[in-house]
Chains A and B, each alone.
Chain A
Amino acid sequence: MTTVAKEENTQQGEVVLRATGIRKRFGALEVLCGVDLTVLRGEVMCIIGPSGSGKSTLLRSLNHLEEIDGGRVELDGELVGYRQRGHKYVTLPEKDLAKQRARIGMVFQSFNLFPHMTVLQNIVESPVGVLKVPASEARATAMQLLERVGLDSKADCYPRQLSGGQQQRVAIARALAMKPRLMLFDEPTSALDPELVGEVLDVMKDLARDGLTMVVVTHEMGFAKEVADSVLFMDGGVVVERGHPQDVLVNPQMPRTQDFLSKVL
């Protein structure tokens, strides 16, 4: 494996998230066979690879949505999902797990907005309910975030009244409202009509420019090339190649990477 490349803005090197030796199996199928990754503060990391390569599972194991069978995930140096007792890992009580998850934002392929709440209610629900932010303050923050994703006029709409692209932008605002340390994006544009992809990517580029730490599973090679600080190519549950987007996407060294890129580009 090649060494991890670092961009200028991440060179101060504060590690936000570190995963080592992540293993996961579904029945007899080993989906992740020992994956390592390190995300620095302000870094945008894109994970690419063919479907079934384990990239979504990897992303979901980072905030313990997926229980892992081996390895460890650390957020700001703190073990995610478990507590170490001697040589054993003990599952964290739900309360502590929820606190860790609150520090990691997540955006899903299928948006998963709460359909029975308005856009504004979707965004303030967790800050008010979990972080105990005063309602008026949460609402003000929510309106700022909606303005940022260009949807302040839709605050009182229900999710089903919005287009897919608009729903995904609301979902991004909802995750940002928790002021997360980093954001995970699980194929955020894969469920969108082609003409709606751009508006979501634009919001994400904007966030990247502002220095948000992001891990993005994506099929958008253009986005990866333009925005990512590092790219990680996965296949068959392992990281095949990683490095600066110019290296991985333009000058791939491994045959499997070359093969995949020749199909998608």
Chain B
Amino acid sequence: MNATATEPTTPPREQDEIRVAHRSHPAWWLVVAFVALCVAGIVKMLFTNPNLQWDVVGEYFFTQRILKGLLVTLELTVLAMVSGILLGVLTAVMRLSPIKILSSTAWAYTWFFRGTPLLVQIIFWYNLAALFPKIEIGIPLLGPTLWSGDSNAVITPFVAALLGLALNEGAYMSEIVRGGIVSVDQGQHEAAVALGMRSRRVMRRIVLPQAMRVIVPPTGNQVIGMLKSTALVSVTSTSELLYTSQQIYNQTFQTIPLLIVASIWYLIVTSVLSVIQYYIERHYARGGRRELPLTPWQRVRRSVGSLQGRLQAVGEGSKR
């Protein structure tokens, strides 16, 4: 560096490629050192703290009970999320409808389910039998009962959990979908209508596909949030991942290692979900930018390619 500074400043020749040198920031090294120390401390703790009982973690990681719990967690996530998204799209479209009764019904739904804690809702559904010992389906106050059943038989812990998660999720998705729909330029609607499309087609073919670019990123967050919210369901003794771990450590008192087992599984699944989210976002970016962002694999190939190029250049240089 000193050498370049003392050299007489000659303007670069025109055919020379301009190289941009990054300025050095000495303070950054302090930050790097601090972070490195913290990481080292954590790693040392992970290896040396005997209370972590890694052997127990390894022992339980792939046991059938844990895997079964994981499966229930995934089932709950998928089912609650799918019904949440459907509910969300439905209520968002209702909310934007010019028909007052539809929009206010949708508003009330969102208001109620977003305004009460999810945990309370789950416990509430779980204890529904205390409120309605029998469930009857028919026209309220008037008509004949079309179907009836015993609450305790219908609302199993799994159904209670699913109801709680899905209804709550629907309220959040409703707001996300509404935001997406509103973000699409009004001109798109006008152009579609002027081409003779009816509003359902306009929504399905023109507005929703464009709204997806706004809807997908927060929905990805919601899926990841949902995966973790399923842990709340452990209060209804649904044997999902956390409740299964709890059941095991209540017998063996190996609390920490089993919580680690559950946490690692949650981490693995959320990581996989993040990757899927990346590709879905990329899909809906079509037409949004002039060029699509590279996939991670394309990025690796490109950087390997440029590294090869540089190595070759260095090799040729040294031959001379």
Query: Who on chain B is nearest to A129 by CB?
Result: B201
Q: How far is it, in angstroms, between the C-alpha of A110 and the C-alpha of B201 when the chains are bound? A: 22
Interface membership of A71, Cβ < 8 A? no
Q: How far is it, in angstroms, between the C-alpha of A160 and the C-alpha of B204 when the chains are bound? A: 21
Cβ of A98 and Cβ of B209 under 8 Å apart?
no
Cβ of B198 and Cβ of A94 under 8 Å apart?
yes
Interface membership of B193, Cβ < 8 A? yes
Interface membership of A95, Cβ < 8 A? yes
Cβ of B195 and Cβ of A160 under 8 Å apart?
no
Q: How far is it, in angstroms, between the C-alpha of A159 and the C-alpha of B196 when the chains are bound? A: 21
- Chain A residues whose CB sits within 8 angstroms of the CB of B190 once the complex forms: 65, 108, 112
Report the minimum CB–CB distance from B187 to chain A (whole Å): 4
- Chain B residues whose CB sits within 8 angstroms of the CB of A133 once the complex forms: none
- Chain A residues whose CB sits within 8 angstroms of the CB of B192 once the complex forms: 114, 126
Cβ of A115 and Cβ of B195 under 8 Å apart?
no
Cβ of A101 and Cβ of B195 under 8 Å apart?
yes
- Chain B residues whose CB sits within 8 angstroms of the CB of A160 once the complex forms: 287-290
Q: How far is it, in angstroms, between the C-alpha of A132 and the C-alpha of B206 when the chains are bound? A: 17
Interface membership of B286, Cβ < 8 A? yes
Interface residues of B in 145-164 (CB under 8 A from A): none
Q: Which of B197, B287, B290 contacts A98 (CB 8 A)?
A: B197
Interface membership of A32, Cβ < 8 A? no
Tally B residues with Cβ within 8 Å of A.
Answer: 24
Interface membership of B194, Cβ < 8 A? yes
Report the minimum CB–CB distance from B228 to chain A (whole Å): 32
Interface residues of B in 186-229 (CB under 8 A from A): 187-188, 190-199, 201, 205-206, 209-210
- Chain B residues whose CB sits within 8 angstroms of the CB of A43 once the complex forms: none
Q: Which of A113, A115, A130 contacts B197 (CB 8 A)?
A: A130
Cβ of A65 and Cβ of B194 under 8 Å apart?
yes
- Chain B residues whose CB sits within 8 angstroms of the CB of A159 once the complex forms: 287
Interface residues of B in 43-66 (CB under 8 A from A): none
Interface membership of A117, Cβ < 8 A? yes
- Interface code A71-101, partner B: CB below 8 Å = 1, 0 otherwise? 0000000000000000000000011001101
- Chain B residues whose CB sits within 8 angstroms of the CB of A146 once the complex forms: none
Interface membership of A175, Cβ < 8 A? yes
Interface membership of A161, Cβ < 8 A? yes
Report the minimum CB–CB distance from A105 to chain B (whole Å): 8
Q: Which of A94, A110, A117, A130 contacts B195 (CB 8 A)?
A: A130
- Chain A residues whose CB sits within 8 angstroms of the CB of B201 once the complex forms: 129-130
Interface membership of A61, Cβ < 8 A? no
Q: Which of A98, A125, A159 has the most CB of B within 10 A?
A: A98
- Interface code B282-304, partner A: CB below 8 Å = 1, 0 otherwise? 00101111100000000000000
- Interface code A53-81, partner B: CB below 8 Å = 1, 0 otherwise? 00000000001010000000000000000
Query: Who on chain B is nearest to A115 by CB?
Result: B287
Q: Which of B193, B194, B205, B288 contacts A115 (CB 8 A)?
A: B288
Q: Which of A98, A114, A117, A171 contacts B196 (CB 8 A)?
A: A98
- Chain A residues whose CB sits within 8 angstroms of the CB of B187 once the complex forms: 108, 110, 112
Interface residues of B in 265-289 (CB under 8 A from A): 284, 286-289
Q: Which of B190, B196, B199, B288 has the most CB of A within 10 A?
A: B196
- Interface code A192-223, partner B: CB below 8 Å = 1, 0 otherwise? 00000000000000000000000000000000
Report the minimum CB–CB distance from B185 to chain A (whole Å): 8
Cβ of B197 and Cβ of A106 under 8 Å apart?
no
Q: Report if A95-B194 is in contact (Cβ < 8 Å); known contacts: A112-B187, A112-B188, A160-B290.
A: no
Q: Report if A99-B196 is in contact (Cβ < 8 Å); known contacts: A108-B191, A114-B188.
A: yes
Cβ of A102 and Cβ of B188 under 8 Å apart?
no
Cβ of A175 and Cβ of B195 under 8 Å apart?
yes
- Chain A residues whose CB sits within 8 angstroms of the CB of B287 once the complex forms: 115-117, 158-160
Q: Which of B197, B199, B286 contacts A126 (CB 8 A)?
A: B197
Cβ of A102 and Cβ of B195 under 8 Å apart?
yes
Report the minimum CB–CB distance from B214 to chain A (whole Å): 12
- Chain A residues whose CB sits within 8 angstroms of the CB of B289 once the complex forms: 160
- Chain A residues whose CB sits within 8 angstroms of the CB of B191 once the complex forms: 106, 108, 112-114, 171
Interface residues of A in 159-195 (CB under 8 A from B): 159-161, 171, 174-175, 178
Query: Who on chain B is nearest to A161 by CB?
Result: B290
Cβ of B196 and Cβ of A158 under 8 Å apart?
no
Cβ of A116 and Cβ of B196 under 8 Å apart?
no
Cβ of A98 and Cβ of B198 under 8 Å apart?
yes
Cβ of B206 and Cβ of A114 under 8 Å apart?
yes
Q: How far is it, in angstroms, between the C-alpha of A264 and the C-alpha of B193 when the chains are bound? A: 34
Q: How far is it, in angstroms, between the C-alpha of A149 and the C-alpha of B158 when the chains are bound? A: 61
Given pairs A98-B193, A112-B185, A113-B191, 8 additional interface contacts (CB within 8 A): A65-B193, A98-B197, A110-B187, A112-B190, A114-B192, A114-B210, A116-B286, A159-B287
Query: Could you name 10 residue pairs across A and B whose Cβ atoms are closer than 8 Å?
Result: A63-B194, A99-B196, A101-B194, A103-B196, A114-B188, A114-B210, A115-B210, A115-B287, A130-B196, A130-B197
On A, residues with C-beta under 8 Å from B are 63, 65, 94-95, 98-99, 101-106, 108, 110, 112-117, 125-126, 129-131, 158-161, 171, 174-175, 178
The 7 closest A-B pairs by CB, nearest first: A102-B196, A112-B191, A126-B195, A106-B194, A112-B187, A158-B287, A115-B287
